[in-house]
Structure formats: C-alpha cells, structure tokens
Structure 1
Amino acid sequence: MQTSEQPLEKTTAKILAKDSNFLSQNPHLNSTEELPGFDSKNPPDPNLINTCVHCGFCLATCPSYRVIGKEMDSPRGRIYLMDAINNSEAPLSETSAQHFDTCLGCLACVSTCPSGVQYDQLISATRPQVERNISRNLGDRLIRFLIFNLFPYPNRLRLFLVPLFVYQKLGVQTLVRSTGLLPKIFPRLGAMESILPQITVESFQDNLPTIIPAKGEKRYRVGMILGCVQRLFFSSVNEATVRVLTANGCEVIIPKSQGCCAALPEHQGQTNQAHTLAKQMIDSFEETGVDAIIINAAGCGHTLKEYGHILQDDPEYAEKAQAFSAKVKDVQEFLAEVGLTVPLSPLTDGELTLVYQDACHLLHGQKISQQPRQLLQQIPGVKLREPVDAALCCGSAGVYNLLQPEVADELGQQKAENLLNTGAKLIASANPGCSLQILKHLKLKGESIALKHPMELLDCSIRGEKINA
C-alpha cells in the first residue's frame, strides 16, 4: 500500500516546494532546507503522522474532499503535507495553509480510519502553527478579528444584536436578502447574514436562576453550561433542558460567571484565547460541588471534554482540567445513563415520524450516537427514520460556514436534501450551529419542516404539550 502511494507523496512535496507564488515572493530561497516550516512549539507529531498507511479510507467520508475533489483537501493529503513541511520538503505558506483551512474538523476520518490515525491531534497541532506563522490577507484578518472578538463573548455579542434587531424589525433584512447582492459582493458577510435567526426579546435576557431545585427526590446535583450561541438564539433549548433535568430529579446549578467554553478559538488555532476561556470556565464551576457538568451543544461538549489535553502543559490547571473534563456529559448521554424517571406523553395525536441529525462532534468527537435515539424512541408515537449519509457534516463546523461559505453551502444543501428525503415530519438536532445551517438550507428550498432540539421534544412530552409537526 505504501509503495503505491509513494509517487503521490513525492509529487505533493515537489509541487508545494515549488509553489510559484511563494517562491516568487521569496527569491532568496534556493533550497528546500531554507523553506520556512513549523516552529518548535508543538508541531504535528511525526510519530502520529507515521501511523497513516495511506489507505485512502478517509477520502469517502471527508466532506471537504467530496466537495473540492482534490487530494490535498483530504485528511490523507493534509497528512502528506504536514510530513513534507516537517521534513523541509514543502513550505508552510499561504498556499499550504489554504489546504489546512479547508478542513472542517468534523473528525469523520477519525471514526473511519482502520489504522487509528489521530488526525484530530494532528490538525489541532497544525492550526496554531498556521495562525502564528502565516500572514493572512486583509479581508481574512478582518473577518477573523470580528469572529474571535465577538462570538466567544456573550455580552459583546448581545450588544451587537441591538442594531441587528433593528435591522430585522425595520425590514432592511428582507430588502437586503431580496437583492441577493450581499453574498456576491462580500461572500463572508453574506454567509454570516444568511444564517442570522430571528432575534427576539429573549435574546437579550438571561432568565434562568443560579439554582433550580429538583422536582421530587433529588438524585443528582448537576452544573449546566449555557453556551454562547445557545443562550442568545436558542434560549428555549436551555430552558427545556433545565425542565427535563429537574423533572428527572436533578438540582441544576448555573454559575453566572461562566463564559465561552473555548470551542470556537480552539478549533481555529487561537491557542492563547482558548486557554484563557477554558481556565475561566473551570474556575466558574470549581466551588459548585456538582456530580456532573451538563452541556446541550455538541461542539461545546467536545471541547469541554478535551480540557485535559488543551491545558496539559499548564502547571496550575492541568490537574483541574482533567477533573473538570471527567465530569462533563452531554445531556443526552447523561439522561440515557441515569434513566428517565417521569412518564412521557405523545407529542401528536397520531404517529410522529422524525429524523435525528447527527452532529459531528457528538457522533465522531464524543462517540454519542445511540443515546439520543434511545431517548427519542421512549416518547410514545415517535418513529425514527435514518437519512442517507447520516455521518456527513452539514457544513456548519463552528464558523466554517462563515470562513469557507462555498464549500459549506454545498454541504448544507446536501444535508437538507438528505433529511427531507426521509419523509420525516420533524428534524431533531442537538447543536445550534447545525440547526442554523440546516434551517438556512431548508428555507432556501422553500421547506418549512420543524426543527427541534431533543430536549425540547422531551420537555413537551413530559409536560403533555402537543407540538405542530
């Protein structure tokens, strides 16, 4: 197998080492030994790279490869590239960085790889290298500055929503979207505007108290993380989650000091920011004495469980981070483990067919697949249908749909079509980014099928409330 792939490996290194754009801008470089590479701070581990046997199983499951169709935009191609840069056979340049940027970080390749290649660790080591060593163009720097200085800070984001609230209420949004010009002139701003949900008064409020007592006998004392996007755009999901937990004997603790979980900066190589936010999150729960720390957003949950790895080199927080991550549970994982203690009622008068959308950072990142389905199937009258390509990323991938809108749109269209083709009356989605992405593409198709978080469905079932589907 390795022998058959050798020409590709040599070609990859040769093409990138002779990157015409890079070398034309740096004429003083006359040998590959002088090519700039990764710095000495945690470069991709050669031992992890060498576990790849180049079999290509990852190609069929990789969303960027399926859309772009180029080897260098696949896990195998990126591993070749990391190896070439490590060995001074290719430069770490704007061109090579583009191939790393096209990775969604969905981790489908990790689930698929028969050799157990830890691609997640390789790409996590590579992204900070790109951020430290590559000078991005002005447009890229501006959009990233906006994202990283706004999205991980709920209070800042809430202030930013004020003019957007007016923008929607005055009908400007309808006008802008009707012209179709924004995505053509400013693709990334257009992508950001296209997933903007309806802003409501609830977006500006935090209605949940710090301590919510269990109903009936207390079984557990759990902490709950609100999320950034979740608390602003899907506050009803957090409220439903609290009601489901308390109905099943959990006292819920919500520290007011909690901020962002660091998922967004961590996934994009913003190491210092990610470390700061992670430590703040650990501090906010340190004195709560909870049995578990609950999260209802897939991307957040994956990062929270990685705190031990993220802060492994921090002498003050390494041990704290391990202890924190050990307590983190996705709410569906937790409820499936401890069991529901209250009766459930039908959500509709007849049978309700629904399709569960697997969020990548639940399915691949946390290996959580059956638990959500098991919970949903306990609701009387619910019949689950499975979509084609259930493991394929929807294209949201944190802020990927804002940074790589063309690839994300193609994936979003395919995901929406696959979900619709099940004929289900309702979609269950357990990640806010996925929900925004799917809702956007359902709307573009003229479809009005309902989309709910599984906790919203369980909450309605517990309370005996019917839904429209």
Structure 2
Amino acid sequence: MSRYAYRSYKPEAGGSPDFFAKSIATLEGVSAIWFLERRHLINSKSPRMPPDTLHRLMGLYAEEAERCIRCGFCNSVCPTTLTSIGFKPSKTSRGRLVLLQSALQSGWPDPLSKNFKELIDLCIGCTRCVDVCPAGIPIPTVMSAYRAAYIGKRGVGSLDRPERVIANFEGFVRGLSRMNGWLRHLILTKPTLYLFKRLAGFADDALLPLPEGGVLDEVFRREALKSGLRVYAFFADTYARYVRPSIAVSARYLLNQAGIDLFLPPQRDSGILYWELGMWEKVKELARLNVESLHREAVKGRRIVCTSPASTMMLREVYPRILDEEKSREVAESVVDINELIHDFVHLGRISADLSRERCVTHSTCLSQHLRLTSLIADTLETLNVNVDKVLLDCCGSGGLWGMLEKNRALSREIGERLVRKLGTSGLVVSYSETCALQISSLTGRRVEAKLPHEALYSWILQPKARTPPANISPAS
C-alpha cells in the first residue's frame, strides 16, 4: 500500500465533517475510489441519522465496531474481499467496519439505506476474521448486530424476497419431509424446482438442501435406546432432522461401536439462518426453548452431540452471548462436536479399523477452522490409515445459503473456483459442512462426491458389513 493510501485511510474512515475537503485535497489512488464510493452512499436523499440511534439499536456491538483499529488483517482472510470486488474499500471486511464507525460517529452514511445494507451483507459469516483480528472483535457478530438493528428499525418486511424465503426454511423442509414419497417427488420435479428458484431468487445451478424423505423423530421413536450403552443427547438441528436424517443415523450407528447411544430430546431449529439474517428476537426465542430442554440433559451428566459445525457454534458461542444466562453456559459446556468425540474414541481404541484402502481429500471448512476441528479430523483419518491426499483450507463460497442466491451466485462461484481448481478430479472429498458439501458438488458438476467426516467413516467401516438402517432412512452412500 502506498504511503498516500495508508495516510489517507484514517481521516476518511472517521466520518469527520471536513471529509470531502480532505479527500479532494490529499487523497490519491485507492483513496480516490473510496471518495467516489462514499459520495454514492451519501447523497442528497440520504437522511441524517442521529449518532446515538444506531448505538442504541446495536447495543454493546456498537462499541465493538468502534474498537476496530483499521489494521486490515481481516481483509487478508475475508473470502469476499479476496475477489474481483476487493479493490473497492467499502466492499472489504475493513471497509464494512469503517462504514459502521462513520455511521456510529456522525450518522453518515445512512445505515438504514439499502446501499449500506448491501455492503454489510458481503460478510458471509465465515468467522475467518475472528482468528486474525488483533483487537479481538467478533466481526461476524457485529455485522449480525447491524442487521438486527436494520430489522428492528425497518421490520422483517424490509428484507429482500430471497431472505424472506430463507427465514421460512425450517417450515418449508419440515412440511416436505413429512409428505408421502410420491407427492414429495412430484413437487420436487425439475420444472417445479426451476419455477421455485426463479420466484424465490435462487440461482439455477445451485443445489438446494431438499429433504431426502422421513423425519428423524420417527426414526428415534422406532429404535429404542440400546441397553448397556451410555446415553448422550443429540441436537439434530433442522438439516439432520428434516433434510437428511441419514446424517444422524450414520452418526448413531458409528457411536454405537464406541458404546454410545443417542437420545433425541425435544428441540427446535438452532436459529443459524435467523442469526445470519439479523433476526435476533427469533434467535433468542429458539435459544430459550432449546436451552431449557438441553439443560435437563446436561444436569443428568449427558454430553450434547452436534453433527453440524453451525449447531456446535450456536450452542457453544451464540446462545451464551445473546441469552447471558447460567443455563446457556452450562449447556455450552456440555456440547461436544461429533468430530471431537470420534477423535477421542479412535485414540482410545473404541473405534478402530484399517482403512488403508481408502483415499480422500479433506476440505477444511470455514467453521471447521474456527472450531479448531481441522487437525482433529485429519488426525482421525490418518490414525485409521486413510490416505489423505491433501488438506485444503480454501473457502467454498457457500456462506450457508448465501451462495445459493442468484444475486450472490457470481461472487460465490468466484470464491469457490479456487477450491475447485485444487480439487481437480478428486474422487471423495471429506468436508464438514452440509452446505459446503452441496456447493462442492454443484461447482464440480457433481463429478466430485463430498461427505461429512463421520459419514465417510460410516461408509468405510460399517456399510461393508451390510448393516440395514431403519426403513425409509438410508445413510447417503
């Protein structure tokens, strides 16, 4: 960065009244671009917001935004920043915080404008920035807090149509999963899906998380807990409960080998999609219901098993943060990710196999890295003698459901193409994220198969034994 760009970035960022004079008099290069962008954001139609309004709406996270020292470390790991749009300062991770600081200090640019929100929405919640921020700012949470402020002021109806569809994801897949097979297949025909994608704002080439059939609750009701096994509670979340119950079935069978059985307590969606959208009141509602139920399991001494990194993060990090209650902290302490559990059992010899004939590439997803699971997954596979060709750390560009939306698809593909090039013609990719697995399959034209780590282990260890799963639910092979 030139000395001009570095020197000019500070006064621009602070929202000082003489911003334009300083910009015109002293800025060059990158700063000129920033000046033009900011002029676009601050126009004659933009109302001036009282500086304390956004502070009140964002609460404590306004102070977190103001702690940003503008070092730019977050830019070096942000997937959307490291693309063709990253030359524009406002479309970078640091730029988003700078804009928030300006709005918090002076009311400009208008934080309730559509342009402002579109820039903030370039944060896909990957959490990579959290690990490199020297100030320790929970940047994705700050962005979510801004979205909560936006909704708090303008209402859920102000969200775009695709975002409103995402807000109803749980109800949509719950209804489909409970339909008769023939009716579900009739609804999910190619013409129907094409029409749905067009109307809802999803990209034509995106693979949607569609129910495979059956509801996990029914499976657990049919199969009683096995005597002699230690019982852990299972938090399924919406994906394993309604979209792919086979995720939970394979996890349960695998843990049975280690002397563990899973119990499904009453529960609701984790709220991860609402969290990403900024619908904090809905997240709090779900968190209270889940914590109340899961706490009853925790006080029995039962671990709470999650098979999704998003679920693990919500229960461990988000619930204690937004509820700030002792019960939520006790639940968080009882949570164990499936990969942590399997890693321990493999090293204890409670899960064992010689998988020297198996080969894979490991994709370390963003949340896997955030939760410190990458080395555990790789070590588990190598201990069982799996031939791990390489471990890839690149973001796939899914960002949950963000990358499936038509308005984000081009950028999502640009992010993911770096990973696809490195995958080459890999046969099996072990990737710990349901939506990342869909993204990999989509971007490779389905030539690459992607599985969750425990699903891969299930297929290698147990499927050759021809073990029959419950009716209507077959772990994906």
TM-score, structure 1 normalization? 0.81
Give deviations 1:124-156, integer Å, cap 9, x for gaps: 322211222357887x43322222123367534
Could you tell me which of 233, 238, 252 is aligned with 1:242? 252
Q: Say whether residues 1:227 and 2:231 are aligned partners.
A: no
CA distance in 2, matches of 1:74, 1:114: 17
Tell me the secondary structure at the aligned position of residue 323 of structure 1.
helix
Q: Say whether residues 1:189 and 2:206 are aligned partners.
A: no
Amino acid at match of 2:385: P
Could you tell me which of 248, 273, 288 is aligned with 1:279? 288
* 1:308/1:22 CA distance change after superposition, 3 Å: same
Residue in 2 that maps onto 1:383: 388
Please tell me whether the aligned partners of residues 178 and 213 of structure 2 are also in contact (alpha carbons under 8 angstroms): no
CA distance in 1, matches of 2:89, 2:397: 19
CA distance in 2, matches of 1:456, 1:253: 19
- Range with bigger deviation, 333-342 or 150-159: 150-159
Residue in 1 that maps onto 2:316: 305
CA distance in 2, matches of 1:33, 1:235: 48
Equivalenced residues, count: 437
Q: Say whether residues 1:329 and 2:346 are aligned partners.
A: no
Amino acid at match of 2:352: L
Please tell me whether the aligned partners of residues 154 and 260 of structure 1 are also in contact (alpha carbons under 8 angstroms): no
Please tell me whether the aligned partners of residues 358 and 429 of structure 1 are also in contact (alpha carbons under 8 angstroms): yes
Give deviations 1:14-58, integer Å, cap 9, x for gaps: 5599655764435xx5xx675795151434646534543322222
Could you tell me which of 156, 160, 166 is aligned with 1:147? 166
Amino acid at match of 1:302: M
Unaligned 5+ segments in structure 1 are: 313-317
Give deviations 1:240-260, integer Å, cap 9, x for gaps: 1011122111132112x2120
Q: Say whether residues 1:408 and 2:412 are aligned partners.
A: yes
- Aligned-pair CA distance for 1:449: 2.6
Structure 1 residues 61-460: aligned runs within 5 Å: 61-67=77-83, 68-69=85-86, 70-90=88-108, 91-92=110-111, 93-134=113-154, 140-151=159-170, 155-156=174-175, 158=177, 165-169=185-189, 172=191, 176=194, 188-190=201-203, 194-196=206-208, 199-202=211-214, 206-209=218-221, 213=225, 218=229, 220-255=230-265, 257-288=266-297, 289-306=300-317, 307-312=319-324, 318-338=325-345, 339-342=347-350, 344-347=352-355, 351-364=357-370, 366-387=371-392, 390=393, 392-403=394-405, 404-418=408-422, 420-421=423-424, 424-443=426-445, 447-460=446-459
Please tell me whether the aligned partners of residues 232 and 260 of structure 2 are also in contact (alpha carbons under 8 angstroms): yes
* 1:241/1:212 CA distance change after superposition, 3 Å: farther
CA distance in 2, matches of 1:417, 1:235: 31
- Range with bigger deviation, 94-103 or 128-137: 128-137
* 1:161/1:48 CA distance change after superposition, 3 Å: farther
Could you tell me which of 68, 71, 76 is aligned with 1:60? 76
- Range with bigger deviation, 285-294 or 146-155: 146-155
TM-score, structure 2 normalization? 0.80
- Aligned-pair CA distance for 1:11: 3.2
* 1:439/1:23 CA distance change after superposition, 3 Å: same
RMSD across aligned positions (CA): 3.5
Amino acid at match of 2:323: L
CA distance in 2, matches of 1:46, 1:381: 47
Residue in 2 that maps onto 1:315: none
CA distance in 2, matches of 1:94, 1:36: 20
Residue in 1 that maps onto 2:473: none
Amino acid at match of 1:357: H
* 1:164/1:19 CA distance change after superposition, 3 Å: farther
Give deviations 1:409-436, integer Å, cap 9, x for gaps: 2223333332x23x54310122111111
* 1:209/1:461 CA distance change after superposition, 3 Å: farther
Amino acid at match of 1:309: R
CA distance in 2, matches of 1:55, 1:66: 16
Please tell me whether the aligned partners of residues 203 and 231 of structure 1 are also in contact (alpha carbons under 8 angstroms): yes
Tell me the secondary structure at the aligned position of residue 355 of structure 1.
strand
Please tell me whether the aligned partners of residues 210 and 254 of structure 1 are also in contact (alpha carbons under 8 angstroms): no
- Aligned-pair CA distance for 1:279: 1.3
CA distance in 1, matches of 2:199, 2:10: 37
CA distance in 2, matches of 1:308, 1:437: 30
CA distance in 2, matches of 1:144, 1:94: 14
Please tell me whether the aligned partners of residues 212 and 252 of structure 1 are also in contact (alpha carbons under 8 angstroms): no
* 1:302/1:381 CA distance change after superposition, 3 Å: closer
- Aligned-pair CA distance for 1:454: 1.2
* 1:146/1:464 CA distance change after superposition, 3 Å: closer
